[in-house]
Amino acid sequence: MISDESVQLEGVQCMLKVCKDELLGPEEGVYLMHNVLCILYKKAATLENAKIAVLILLEHFTRENLFFKQVIEEFVS
């Protein structure tokens, strides 16, 4: 997520496609993205812009109704 904005958005769109088109199934896709968010958040101390990446992913997945209140509150707190 430290790359160019267009590359970031392309990555997010790809992740959304995996979840929305049910390539993994909705539950597995959301579980996978939750794990990606957890990994990024844990790397925040050493990886530049990791927290920004988490917020970008949260925003897009929430907008698409894939993440709900519980997931958002977990990361915001």
> What phi-psi label fits residue 3: left (phi over 0), alpha (psi between -120 and 50 degrees) or beta?
beta
In the chain, how many domains are there?
A: 1
The range of the structural domain enclosing residue 62 comes to: 5-76
Please indicate, yes or no, whether the overall pTM of this predicted structure exceeds 0.75: no
Tens of pLDDT, residues 6-32 = 777 787 888 888 777 767 777 787 788
Q: What is the dihedral of CA 35, 48, 55, 24, to 10 degrees?
A: -30
Place of tokens 């958040």: 41
- For residue 27, give both structure tokens: 């539950």
